Amino acid sequence: MTFFSSEEHIKEWEQEHPEFKGSTIGMDQGLGFILTVGGTRGDYNYFPITLNERDQALERCGLAGDFWKTPG
């Protein structure tokens, strides 16, 4: 996983590295997912979500496809 500072940086990197194929997600998508799956980790009664709930959270954030699926 590579983090980029801007859309322009992404485009430059893709031009310099055409051998790597993939997709990018925006900060809103990434933050939305992180808050969905772990936003309450600091709470006293925190309980981790199930893998199924994780997959559903990914889909709600627009992160679909084989890369994002939980193996197994």
Q: In Å, how far from its chain's centre is CA 64? A: 10
Q: Give residue 72's pLDDT band: very low, low, confident or very high (50, 70, 90).
A: low
The tokens 């485009």 sit on which residue? 11
Q: In the predicted model, what is the mean pLDDT of residues 10-34?
A: 82
pLDDT at 1 over 70: no
Q: Give residue 39's pLDDT band: very low, low, confident or very high (50, 70, 90).
A: confident
CB atoms within 10 A of CB 4: 13
In-domain check, residue 39:
yes
Q: In the predicted model, what is the mean pLDDT of residues 29-48?
A: 82
pLDDT, mean over the chain: 82
Which pLDDT score is estimated for 71? 76
Contact criterion met (CB below 8 Å) for 63 and 25: yes
In-domain check, residue 6:
no
Farthest-apart Cα atoms in the chain, separation: 47
In-domain check, residue 60:
yes
In-domain check, residue 5:
no
